[in-house]
Amino acid sequence: MERVGAQWPPSGHVYQTVPGSISPFSRLFPAMAFYSRFLRVIFKASAAAKRGRYDGAAWRRTSLEILRALETIGVYFHITGMNHLQQLESPCVVVANHMSVMETVILPGIIQSFRPVTFIVKDSLMQYPVFKHVLAARHPIVVNRINPRQDFKTVMRQGTTLLSTGTSVVVFPQTTRARHFDPEKFNSLGSKLAARANVPALPLALLTDAWGTGRLVKEFGKIDSRKTVRLAFGPPLTVEARGGRQHQEIIRFINGKLNRWQGER
């Protein structure tokens, strides 16, 4: 039996990979087995995007195909707090730590299953061959990370417009991907956007270091199928004033989950 995912979206608040057999090739060469499939999925999505045929439903399918591809080489997923997504009555700002490329490609499949979503991304991502067409089709908020004041204005303006029309926004407040969570480098942009748009902030803790950083191309790193991928959505927070208190609650939630997960390894 091939290792595959359970029903999607899950009927309850937890999703976990259904164990199954892994091919000998995938066991010996997990990265090669995964990336060959990953690239096929991305090229197909890019072609559709260039033809103007890449909507939210297509993005969701692409993302879930990538998640399934990871499962078929032995990566195990455990996702909790799905009920918080299911029960939302409005768009939200998802505020998450940023650990690897993985969350960028699997979160659309998870969140878009319940409501429209887009990301705040660095402008450099919009220059990536092939992938840039997929990303552009989903209308992300693009920042340059050079002029913080201008980036803030861009996020507040475009973010509130998107949220007012029903699209949730994923924010990675860290300036770059990091294996270790540093609260001092986790800014309050997500809480401030939620406050400005008068929508909930939804904390998300994630442990995605099964997808490593490459030496030549950092996005194509080692895939360690022995590591469990964990995501936990927290209860939505009503953001008051400028969101300082809620920002600290998000930090405590993420830090607590990461410390627990790391301790279980």
pLDDT digits (tens, 9 = 90+) for 62-101: 999 999 999 999 999 999 999 999 899 999 999 999 999 9
What's the DSSP call for residue 184?
Answer: G
Q: Is the pLDDT of residue 20 over 60?
A: yes
Tell me how far apart the alpha carbons of residues 240 and 9 are, in angstroms, rounded to a whole number. 32
Q: Which residues contact 58 (CB under 8 A, 6 or more apart)?
A: 45, 48
Mean pLDDT, the chain, whole residue set: 91
Q: What is the per-residue pLDDT for 11?
A: 67
**Helix H or strand E segment including 171:** strand 168-171
The pTM of this model reads 0.93
Residue ranges covered by each domain of the chain: 81-263
For range 137-157, the mean pLDDT: 92
Asked if 188 and 173 touch (Cβ cutoff 8 Å), the reply is yes
